[in-house]
Structure 1
Amino acid sequence: MRDYLNGSLGLVDAHGKFHDPMNGANVRRAAQEGARDVGDIHCAPFVLEAKNTASPAVPTWIRQAEIEAVHAGFPFGVVVRKVRGSSVTMGRVHVSVRTWTRMRLALGMPTAEFAALYGWSVSLRGLDTSRWYLTTTMRDFAHLVGDYRRNAPSGVSERAVR
């Protein structure tokens, strides 16, 4: 995931070496912090919680990712689940409805345009809205990260997109 995002965002050369190793935009694996875990991968402004399991627990994972994003000081926590037997581009990226809305507002996009441009699909799990989430592919998420970095107002803070 890290290598794919760095390549998609143009942060590495053909051999996978960073163009600028000190660039804060580089996607990196985070050091594990124990009780105050900061997620698996930092892809500013996103913290990615990586999962490779046979049985999904997406709403629980999303809550975990959002807590870890707060610990890391990032505005958005997302879950990336590997799809077995498929390339990393087909990995599934899951976000809460709240995070999806905050990303959309930060980019200043209408709901339908944001959903269509990045291939989001909705999972509604009963009447409990805390279990609802949206999903896209890693490929579409990489486009979102690039667009966010280019187009979101600089200095967009956690409070500004709530």
Structure 2
Amino acid sequence: MTRSRASARKAGTTFERSIADGLAQALDDDRIDRRVKTGSKDRGDIGGVRVHGQRLVVECKDVAKQALPQWTREAQIEAGNDDALVGVVVAKRRGTTNPLDQWVHMTVRDLVALITGQRQDQS
């Protein structure tokens, strides 16, 4: 059965809320919350996440088919829009509703930035 546009939006909103609440609780940080959509200058789905004192953009995806290259590009663009260190994608993992058990996708360059707190130049 395919989703209608309305059911897909509802599923996405529910997933974003779950991830925001899960991160806020796990990190004990009440600044973490869902973001209001900002159109062409989107800054990710979850705001208030910090690493090394810098912003971290979280883009959430609750879809049946993965599109990792598109999603990671989207997260990187949104990280630029937010002047964030990196952008990561949190994707729905079928079979579990626990927000801390969902998949996280990023490039190795972004992983290095998360570990070191410094963005590596692309070459």
TM-score by length of 1: 0.55
SS of residue paired to 2:106: strand
SS of residue paired to 1:68: helix
Whether 1:28 and 2:46 are equivalent positions in the alignment is: no
SS of residue paired to 2:37: coil
Cα offsets for 1:94-147 (capped at 9, x unmatched): 0112111222222xxxxxxxxxxxxxxxxxxxxxxxxxxxxxxxxxxxxxxxxx
Whether 1:105 and 2:116 are equivalent positions in the alignment is: yes
Larger-Rg structure: 1
Task: Choose which of 12, 28, 33 in structure 2 pairs with 1:10.
Answer: 28
Q: Which amino acid letter does the alignment assign opposite residue 8 of structure 1?
A: A
Q: Which amino acid letter does the alignment assign opposite residue 104 of structure 2?
A: V
TM-score by length of 2: 0.72
SS of residue paired to 1:161: coil
Task: Choose which of 101, 109, 116 in structure 2 pairs with 1:90.
Answer: 101
SS of residue paired to 2:70: helix
Moved over 4 A (4+): none
Alignment: residue pair count: 96
Task: Choose which of 47, 56, 74 in structure 2 pairs with 1:46.
Answer: 56
Q: Which has the higher contact order (CA 8 A, sep 6+)?
A: 2
Gaps (5+ residues) in structure 1? 12-17, 19-25, 107-159
**Identity percentage of aligned residues:** 33
- Which residue does 2:119 correspond to in 1? 161
